[in-house]
Amino acid sequence: MCDAFVGTWKLVSSENFEDYMKEVGVGFTTRKMAGMAKPNLIISVNGDVITIRSESAFKNTEISFKLSQEFEEVTADDRKVKSTITLDEGALVQVQKWDGKSTTIKRKRVDDKLVVVSIF
């Protein structure tokens, strides 16, 4: 099922992303820089390991993980979080936890696009 996500995805539009970043505690300058970035998201699968790489002029990040197994992640805004990613109703659902807070990032195919929704 994760094979449906494999490929390179280009950011086309972003709605309320700056508000989301502000809520999770991202500083003003970083929010402005990240808001201008138009990253490519590259998703690959090797056996039971999924890799998600984000490439932009702002910053490159990469996570590799197995579904339903918690792992440590340093986010693009340098938060150190514990993440777990599951496959739920055809979507990759990532829960990040840090300092008593949590956020959810849901990645889902809609037609020929990858839609990402981030909720704090």
Residue 66 sits in a domain of what CATH number? 2.40.128.20
Cβ(107)–Cβ(115) below 8 Å: yes
pLDDT band at 33 (very low <50, low <70, confident <90, very high): confident
Enumerate helices (H) and strands (E) in the chain, giving the number of each.
2, 9
Task: Estimate to the nearest angstrom the gap between the alpha carbon of 29 and the chain centroid.
Answer: 20
Is the pTM here over 0.95, yes or no?
no
The pLDDT tens digits for 81-91 are 999 999 999 99
Count how many domains the chain has.
1
Full residue range of the structural domain in which residue 18 is found = 2-119
3-class secondary-structure state, position 61: strand
Q: Please, which residues bridge with residue 64 across strands?
A: 51
